[in-house]
Structure 1
Amino acid sequence: MKFVGIFIFVALVIFVSARNHLDNEVSEVKNLTDDDIKVVCYFTNWSWYRQGIGKYSPEDIDSHLCTHIVYGFASLDANTLKIKTYDSWVDIDNHFYQRVTAYHQKGIKILIAIGGWNDSTEKYSRLLTNPSARHKFIESVIDFIGKYNFQGLDLDLEYPGCWQGLCRASSARDRQGFSQFIQELSETFKPHNYLLSAAVSPGKQIIDIAYDVPILSQYLDWIALMAYDYHGSWDRSTGHNAPLYYYPGDKYDYFNVDYTVNYWIKKGAQSDKLVLGVPAY
């Protein structure tokens, strides 16, 4: 099969989508075309607040590493249901938007991500299930992208119908609304040549509830699999955060990268639109 991608979580998160070069050693991304590989790097604005060597600024990004950079995160205004800056002191006052989008001059596409775990509350359900609210949001996104010189939007909504991992009675309406939302965004973005992607769950239970996979595959430019955090401090026993395959003793046979990738394909995702998340933290 055509292979998917990779993403690595440090101060940057990197997604790599390699289609036909699995058997070839790749030394430099710049020697490959966009059709060959995607290295999608997440820049997190809160990394600037770290102390010492953990501090990470826009100028620390290696421009030879990424074909795309996703800036995390913008937020959803709970009252207007429009996109807004999450940390205006960093994003605007300290010019982080401007300093990251400057990499576009080096041929890198820069997207703004909305959502993230902390922001993914039920306010998104009010957005997804209201056609008028979706229309107003999309108008605000077009203005936002143009104003701050981004080239697209990444949807990091965690997760439709299962906000912050808790599935609710509204899940079916959220799932349908998310599918309509993606179609409407895609159709509005095309005349502007804006990119549209989404970061999605690796877990079978949430995949089944949150996503109409063929719709996502049809309308998104890529689907970023968050294939990490299968295990963590919330568990009662230790486990690898991103196991490649099932290992004896694990509670669930679907908590591994191999299962996630194949399950997304089984559900109807195009393999060459999948971008696999690889954590490096």
Structure 2
Amino acid sequence: MKKTLSILLSLLLIAGCITSNTVIANASSNSTKRVVTYFPSWGVYQAGQQHITVDKIPWDKITHVNHAFFEITSDFKIQTTDSYADFENTNFPHAAKADWNKYPNTGYPEGTVFGHFGEYKYYKSKYPNVKILISVGGWTRSNMFHEAASTEQNRKTLANSMVDVMKQYPFIDGIDVDWEYPTETRASEDQYDRGCVGGPEDKHNFTLLLKTIRETFDENNMQDKLLTVAVSAGASKIKNTEPDKYSQYVDYIGVMTYDFAGGWDKVTGHLAGLYLNPNDTTRPNFDMDDAMKLFRDTYNVPSNKLLAGSPLYSRGWANVQPGPNGDGLFQPGDSNFKGNLGDGGQYSWYDIKNIENAQGWVKYRDPIAKTPYLYNANTKQFLTYEDKTSLKERINYINDNNYGGLIVWDSSGDDVKNGWPMHTQMYNGLIK
């Protein structure tokens, strides 16, 4: 999957044939690792997410992009959560221009696509080896999975809908199922959140759903289309599914090895600790190493099918006392700390760089968990996040244990204007 862009451009320059339609090919590589970045479709509206659009995705630094999110309708079909942004917006950089003389009926040739998906179509022509997937569900749109998975008829309807979408948009390479979470019921948190409905039958029905989707792809000569899942890294949620059974139907499993700690907890901790610090008595065995080993060693999932997660955002707490070490770690706190992405100290990674150098903030590193944290003794605020050093540790861990790569939440958190340093580090460390 390695892209030798510089070699290709040199050859094209010599040949004198660089044009606006140049295909940027992906050269072969011995690496089987993946760098999967999530693209938040709503980020176009959010300053905290840099008003991100598809053309801002670091296409030469990833192997896969997951479009977040589609949802499941009441009749068990998938649909966009934002039709305008995904299919109608004509203001994106590569949107087709109307030619009423050539196309008198509509102004556009048949098959023209606008919105984010029009941009995907364009970039797929430039980066044909980058896989584009539609991610279904997520935290706010998992409400219909329980019913959709409950009968074979419903499962088949959903799977056929996925096939129909990929037939309509053949540049889409697969589906990412992000059911958060099987067996669990929770109420809606705000006007954007649909909550989730669950029951004990979800444990096996999740496996059956993935089996039906895979078989339906194959029946429609879509053996090359990918089926992936994003799953919890928490043991209590993992045991509510059957990784040893469902793993055979998916191309890889994205283990969300982040959100181990956040403002919902009453004690500070690490957002994405690589290892468990035994002083963290609030979250025993809630770390990347324990999660990945649980899938690999207990459920016998092949290591190359397991992708760890990297967060390009922070979590935080307010009203945190220094504690015995003066750094606020593993101390009581609350979520009354608003960042540029929301409550609970949520900042994009590119903003954290500025906070690191802001007055009053001190940076620390947990030598056991291998992750950084920031504490401000004046404001009593605490932040946990990923930095380049912890990312290097994460990449080394993946390589040393022959895991399949990284999923990244999300693309908008990187420093878009200054070379995508985090995605670059991921790509160089895993793919090159």
Task: Give TM-score, length-normalised by structure 1.
Answer: 0.83
What is aligned with 1:97?
Answer: 117
Q: What's the RMSD between the two structures over aligned residues?
A: 2.1
Q: Which has the larger radius of gyration?
A: 2
Change (3 A) 1:43 1:187: same
1:40 aligns with 2:60: no
* Higher share of residues assigned helix: 1
What is aligned with 2:138?
Answer: 116
CA deviation profile, 1:178-222 (whole Å, cap 9, x unmatched): 11111111122232121100000000001001x111122211000
2:62 aligned to which of 66, 73, 89: 66
Change (3 A) 1:141 1:74: same
Q: Which structure is richer in relative contact order (CA contacts within 8 A, separation 6 or more)?
A: 1
Find the aligned partners of 1:34 and 1:45 in 2 and give their Cα distance.
Answer: 32
1:160 aligns with 2:191: no
**Any gaps of 5 or more consecutive residues in structure 1?**
1-29
CA deviation profile, 1:91-113 (whole Å, cap 9, x unmatched): 11121112124332212111101
Q: Is 1:117–1:164's contact at 8 Å kept on the other side of the alignment?
A: no
Q: 1:81 Cα deviation (Å)?
A: 1.5
Q: Which deviates the most, 153-162 or 141-150?
A: 141-150
CA deviation profile, 1:132-157 (whole Å, cap 9, x unmatched): 11111111111112212311100001
2:230 aligned to which of 153, 174, 199: 199
Q: 1:52 Cα deviation (Å)?
A: 7.3
1:208 aligned to which of 210, 235, 239: 239
1:83 aligns with 2:78: yes
- Quick one: which amino acid aligns to residue 119 of structure 1? R
Find the aligned partners of 1:131 and 1:239 in 2 and give their Cα distance.
Answer: 42
What is aligned with 1:178?
Answer: 206
What is aligned with 2:346?
Answer: none
Find the aligned partners of 1:35 and 1:220 in 2 and give their Cα distance.
Answer: 19
**Any gaps of 5 or more consecutive residues in structure 2?**
1-25, 90-114, 188-194, 314-432
Change (3 A) 1:217 1:53: closer
3-state SS in 1 of match to 2:60: coil
CA deviation profile, 1:53-107 (whole Å, cap 9, x unmatched): 7221111111111111111110111x21211111111111121112124332212
Change (3 A) 1:163 1:102: farther
3-state SS in 2 of match to 1:244: coil
3-state SS in 2 of match to 1:64: helix
Q: How does 1:239-258 map to 2 (within 5 A)?
A: 239-250=269-280, 251-258=282-289
Find the aligned partners of 1:169 and 1:181 in 2 and give their Cα distance.
Answer: 14
What is aligned with 1:14?
Answer: none
Pairs aligned (count): 248
What is aligned with 2:148?
Answer: 127
3-state SS in 2 of match to 1:69: strand
Change (3 A) 1:253 1:144: same
Change (3 A) 1:189 1:168: closer
What is aligned with 2:247?
Answer: 217
